[in-house]
Structure 1
Amino acid sequence: MICVAGIIVHQESVCAMYGSGLSSACVVDIGDQKTSVSCVEDGISHRNTRLCLTYGGSDVTRCLFWLMQRAGFPYRECQLSNELDCLLLQQLKETLTHLDQDISGLQDHEFQVRHPDSPALLYQMRLGDEKLQAPMALFYPASFGIVGQKMTSLQHRSHGDPEDPHDEHYLLSTQSKQEQSAKAAGDRKALPKSGLYDDARGQSVDGLDRAHMQEAELGSSQNNCMIPGNDPEEPPSAAFSRKNAMSQFEGKVLGLDKAILHSIDCCASDDTKKKMYSSILVVGGGLMFHRARQFLQHRILNKMPPSFRRLVDNVEVVTRPKDMDPRLIAWKGGSLLACLDTTQELWVFQREWHRFGIRMLRERAAFVW
């Protein structure tokens, strides 16, 4: 914030929706080191559906390098710590790997190694199933060899920010107090006046009762905020499924297809789930393999709940909306968002940030911060 004049803060999944031109979709963002899944409906990212997987395209590159070494990779000086070698492995991954199960058998390949102030070296190698096994590791993450680490994380409820006096907990508690006050005022108007109390005494007693009710409501809201996953905005069924998901998946290996199915299953209604199954948007540069769209679509179709197979007409996986580069879709959506007349009030300028700090995000962000 110090070096820029102003920014607009928005969610990457929503920006991908703007860039692709879709209204609702399950957005799968496969980056270099992480993969995120979120269901977006009409420009709103549902918090219960957000997952973050701690693997991405670089893990596929590392897996391919290990498989090629087992197959007799001729460039024995190749090191993952060398930037030029990493670019070479990235190029080999993008040109050789695929997810077409109809391709089998050994094939000969050539590649060149170029270093500054050195002649180009030509190498030959023979690869078979290694070209399929490397991208397949996205669906079987145990192949990455990082099972012991936290592989899957869900979005927890915010614990508040001490620098933000109007954080989420404050808004929830004051909202409950206002609703309770409005309800108590409506009940007082609806009740007939009693002869035992005069008008002034009735008002004072009603005010004391309302104060006690507000304190009880405030205490209840604060207690609920301390329970992870307990959101007053969530229906009981969604909160229950979310708690089960946290205990079942968090910290465990979760393949790409299973993560998508779990994210869609966390949607609140069946209509929303049908929308998500009908439009799965894959962005980022981590799944740019031959036949990747058909392979992912086949796995989702085979593993989706049987009850939805009769309701969903077609499971559609979109990897290149409008023939655009999937690595640039979120950036394009962000640039479009910044140019809209309706988003000009979302800008956070440098002088405002220096004066109010993180509180400006509460006022200007287009989503619940």
Structure 2
Amino acid sequence: MLLVKMGFSAVVVHQESVCATFGSGLSSACVVDVGDQKTSVCCVEDGVSHRSSRLCLAYGGSDVTRCFFWLMQRAGFPYRDCQLGNKLDCVLLQQLKESFCHLDQDISGLQDHEFRTRFPDSPVLLYQLRLGDEKLQAPMTLFYPAAFGIVGQKMTSLLHRSQGDAEDPHDEHFLLTTQSKQDQSSKASADRKSFPKPSSFEGESSVCEVSDRSSLGQDLDLGHSQAECLVGGAETEETPSALLSRKTAMSQFEGKALGIDKAILHSIDSCASDETKRKMYSCILVVGGGLLFHGAQEFLQHRILNKMPPSFRCMVESVDVITRPKDTDARVCVWKGGSVLACLDTTQELWIHQREWQRFGVRMLRERAAFVW
């Protein structure tokens, strides 16, 4: 879409979560991207996004705005003509949410507020409104997403293995099917000698699990749509049975409405080693524009501290939740990391030009992507 329809001369493809850590100046962090339509959680360690830790939640800031509008209507919202289908009204509701809502539990009681409506060809009107707990209840729905009332939709999705890409004849599926039986049997026997495994896992040590790359134009959120390669368990340094049990534990939450705090805990728990988990608990990076509320940093930190496993409370010195990295706007943190990344000398070899894409297609990603494709 970028190279062909929009006419870009060249692009660099990288993962959103890695760009967020790059723009924040962090080497390792649990990245929580609270967007308008979705929320994604991913653990990044030394510039590598852990595939098993990626979660995508089907709610975001627009759902909080819709919930806040419903609560204000119950409290006697004076602007009667406000409609969620009107773009100008949606912008107004977004501004009211960012101005009034908070996550500070020390603030209570009714307070008087006022706001103005400014629309084309209409006079500026002043409205007054009295709000109480509605300002706290609306952002709290991010931690209790069942309050959104979203039905008939998979609320939590994990990254599953791809079935291959017909346009890429050199992916691992093609290589596995075209290998001679002699090569496969000799490779399997060598793997059994090096890595003793149960019989149910024999022959799978060289299988590379990758993400679903069949819809490149539809999946622009690369932070949770790409994956690293797990070859023979060497990346995780775990036995296949331990790896399977962890994936089974993660898959039981698929489809359920997880709050942000629970999604962070499950994402960190899916990491391979205790040292990696300790790093993730020590640094939680919140980007995007869906959690820009007063007191959000302290509230999320308190929730993680209370719900994290007791065994890590002694290992982790402090749970650091970063909502404004380097005192910059969290909404542009990923763009900042991507823009800086594109200017580096080491990135110049990763550019994919329009002619190359038209000639080779998705195969260029195998050569030019900065992560395992």
TM class, shorter-length = 0.7 to 0.9
Out of 359, 363, 372, the residue aligned to residue 359 of structure 1 is 363
Partner of 1:253: 257
Partner of 1:153: 157
**CA deviation after TM superposition for structure 1 residue 321, in Å:** 1.3
User: What is the root-mean-square deviation of aligned Cα atoms in Å?
Assistant: 2.7
Equivalent residue runs for 1:201-212 within 5 Å: none
For 1:59, the aligned partner's letter is D
Distance in 2 (CA, whole Å) between partners of 1:224 and 1:11 is 22
SS of match in other structure, 1:302: helix
1:171 positional shift: 5.5
Distance 1:177 1:80, change over 3 A: farther
In the TM superposition, residue 368 of structure 1 has moved relative to its aligned partner by 1.7
**Residue deviations 1:187-228 (CA, integer Å, cap 9, x gap):** 9xxxxxxxxxxxxxxxxxxxxxxxxxxxxxxx94499789x9
Query: 1:147–1:252: 8 Å Cα contact kept in structure 2?
Result: no
Map of 1:122 onto structure 2: 126
- When residues 24 and 171 of structure 1 are mapped into structure 2, their CA distance, relative to the original with a 3 A threshold, is farther
Q: Residue 310 of structure 1: CA displacement? A: 1.1
* Structure that is richer in helix per residue: 1
Q: Is 1:243 aligned to 2:237, yes or no?
A: no
**Alpha-carbon distance in structure 2 between the residues aligned to 1:99 and 1:24:** 27
Contact residue 297 and residue 321 of structure 2 kept, 8 A: yes
Q: In the superposition, relative to structure 1, how do residues 355 and 25 fare at CA in structure 2: closer, same or farther (>3 Å)? A: same
Q: In the alignment, does 2:110 pair up with 1:103?
A: no
C-alpha separation in 2, matches of 1:255 and 1:20: 24
- The residue that corresponds to 2:32 in the other structure is 28
The answer to whether the 8 A contact 1:51-1:153 is kept is: yes
Specify the alignment match of 1:87 in structure 2. 91
Determine helix, strand or coil for the equivalent of 2:162.
Answer: coil
Unmatched runs of 5 consecutive residues or more in structure 1: 188-218
How far is the alpha carbon of 1:148 from its aligned partner? 3.6
1:170-189 map, 5 Å: 170=174, 177=183, 180=186
Q: CA 1:359 to 1:92, structure 2 compared with 1: closer, same or farther past 3 Å?
A: same
Cα distance change on mapping 1:360 and 1:83 into 2, 3 Å: same
CA drift of 1:244 comes to 2.5
| Match in the other structure for 1:56 | 60
Label 1:307 to 1:179 Cα distance change in 2 as closer, same or farther (>3 A).
Answer: farther
In 1, Cα distance between equivalents of 2:261 and 2:341: 30
Count residues with an aligned counterpart: 334
Give, in angstroms, the shift of residue 270 of structure 1.
Answer: 0.1
Letter in structure 1 aligned against 2:250:
A
Distance 1:286 1:262 in 2: 20
SS of 1:249's equivalent in the other structure is coil
Q: How does 1:272-287 map to 2 (within 5 A)?
A: 272-287=276-291
User: For the residues of structure 1 that align with 2:172 and 2:329, how far apart are their CA atoms?
Assistant: 37
For residues 46 and 352 of structure 2, what CA distance do their matches in structure 1 show? Answer: 24
Would you identify which runs of 4 or more consecutive aligned residues in structure 1 move more than 3 Å?
170-174, 176-184, 219-226, 228-235
- Greater mean alpha carbon deviation, residues 231-240 or residues 271-280: 231-240
The offset of 1:179, in angstroms, is 11
Structure 2 length as normaliser, TM-score?
A: 0.84
Q: Following the alignment from structure 2 to structure 1, what is the Cα–Cα distance between the partners of residues 74 and 115? A: 18
Q: Distance in 1 between matches of 2:188 and 2:303?
A: 51
Give the number of the structure whose alpha-carbon radius of gyration is greater: 1
SS of 2:302 mapped into structure 1: helix
Counterpart-to-counterpart distance in 2, 1:8 and 1:223: 28
Which of 39, 44, 48 is 1:44 aligned to? 48
Following TM superposition, by how much is the alpha carbon of 1:172 offset from its aligned partner in structure 2, in angstroms? 6.4
Equivalents in 1 of 2:318, 2:151: separation in Å? 34
**Between the two proteins, what is the percent identity of the paired residues?**
71
List alignment gaps of at least 5 residues for structure 2.
194-201, 212-226
What is the distance in 1 between the residues matched to 2:128 and 2:246? 52
Match of 1:331 among 317, 335, 347: 335
Alignment TM-score, normalising by the size of structure 1: 0.85
**Partner Cα separation in structure 1 for residue 18 and residue 286 of structure 2:** 13
